[in-house]
Amino acid sequence: MPRNTPVNVGLIGAGRIGSFHAETVARRLVDANLAAIADPAPGAAQALARKLGADGAYEDVEALLAHPGLDAVIIATPARFHTNVLVQAAEAGKAIFCEKPMALTLEEADRAIAAARAAGVPLQVGFNRRWDQAFAEGKAAIEAGQTGTPQLLRSLTRDPGPFGGDPARIPLWTIFYETLIHDFDTLLWLNAGARPVEVYAIGDALVRPDAKANGFLDTAVVTIRFDNGSIAVAEANFCAMYGYDIRGEVFGSQGMVTMGDVRRSSMMLFDKSGVSSDTWRRDTEHFIHGYTAQLAAFVRSVRGEPGMVPGGEDARAALAIALACIESISRKAPVALG
């Protein structure tokens, strides 16, 4: 693809994160064009297309895939639709950026990977933490050997409170499939080359104890043992009253690296009540640079430029840990990974 031709991107799923990604393509990337949008919710695609200046607005995926000149798609539907839409897009020859989780079963993950491979199209998955500056610098320090042999790793996700979701409308196991999957990918990435061999998960409904009887989990801790001897902890909670809290840590034989900060910036206010800092309340503000960088990398890979991006195999590896967590909770026991 010539350097000065913009990559034509279609959005599938014009909800919360899809709308933000569409805005990134239309307004934050110089070499991409938001060509079309599809969403079955009446008027959703049209409204977003009008706002962002996209040519096409459709209610079904097939129509979007037939939009003239479309090079690539962003899949931001609810998770249960990801694999089928991904396979459809691959068969239409489109490059694919798929939000996490790429799939809900290993069979689905294999089907997605095979479809992208058979079509020869790039497949990137939305593990945006890899594109956050602090996490990227931490990874570079680990790779440079500055922390030595990894011994203990930690990754945590605490979503900002107050928790306003309706537990009855949140799919079972969301904490593993959609929240902790970020932490699993982060740990696998930071501990590159090591294979997870044992997973033990405990969880509870501490934010919404009233929903516990239905199997709802809003709090979980997962331990992961790797074949290089290192041990990791991943932790999540749906209601951090002080704001977004996303951090990582790797402790090794030669040192430690920490990544992520609860504070919104280094600004601290000193006044009569003491010292205070603001915190993050929205992921689209906290990760605006990471979200933009991951789509910029996607556009580069659509152009055929090489680069390290989380792909289908990475998504499968993180999913395998999420599935082991579900089994571990169900059996109340550690689960060995094959």
Ligand X SMILES: NC(=O)c1ccc[n+]([C@@H]2O[C@H](COP(=O)([O-])OP(=O)(O)OC[C@H]3O[C@@H](n4cnc5c(N)ncnc54)[C@H](O)[C@@H]3O)[C@@H](O)[C@H]2O)c1
The site for ligand X (CB under 6 A) is made up of 12-18, 38-41, 44, 61, 76-79, 81, 99-100, 126, 128, 178, 283
* Closer residue to ligand X in complex, CB, 230/301: 301
Q: How far is the CB of 292 from ligand X (least distance, A)?
A: 13
Q: 65 with 95: CB under 8 angstroms?
A: no
* Closer residue to ligand X in complex, CB, 39/235: 39
Rounded to whole angstroms, what are the CA distances from 109 to 1, 71, 116, 311? Answer: 29, 23, 11, 11
Q: How far is the CB of 293 from ligand X (least distance, A)?
A: 13
Q: How far is the CB of 155 from ligand X (least distance, A)?
A: 14
Distance separating alpha carbons of residues 321 and 10, to the nearest angstrom: 31
Q: How far is the CB of 39 from ligand X (least distance, A)?
A: 4
| Three-class SS state of 309 | coil
Beta bridge partners of 222: 201, 234
* Closer residue to ligand X in complex, CB, 104/232: 104
* Closer residue to ligand X in complex, CB, 100/158: 100
Supply 54's token pair.
């996209």
Beta bridge partners of 247: 156
Beta bridge partners of 223: 200, 233
* Closer residue to ligand X in complex, CB, 315/329: 315
Q: How far is the CB of 213 from ligand X (least distance, A)?
A: 25
Distance separating alpha carbons of residues 337 and 139, to the nearest angstrom: 25
Q: How far is the CB of 44 from ligand X (least distance, A)?
A: 5
Query: In which element (H, E) is residue 116 found?
Result: helix 106-119
Rounded to whole angstroms, what are the CA distances from 240 to 11, 86, 154, 233, 264? Answer: 31, 33, 18, 18, 15
Q: What angle do CA 14, 130, 155 make, to 5 degrees?
A: 105
DSSP label of 215:
T
* Closer residue to ligand X in complex, CB, 15/161: 15
Nearest residue by C-beta to ligand X? 15
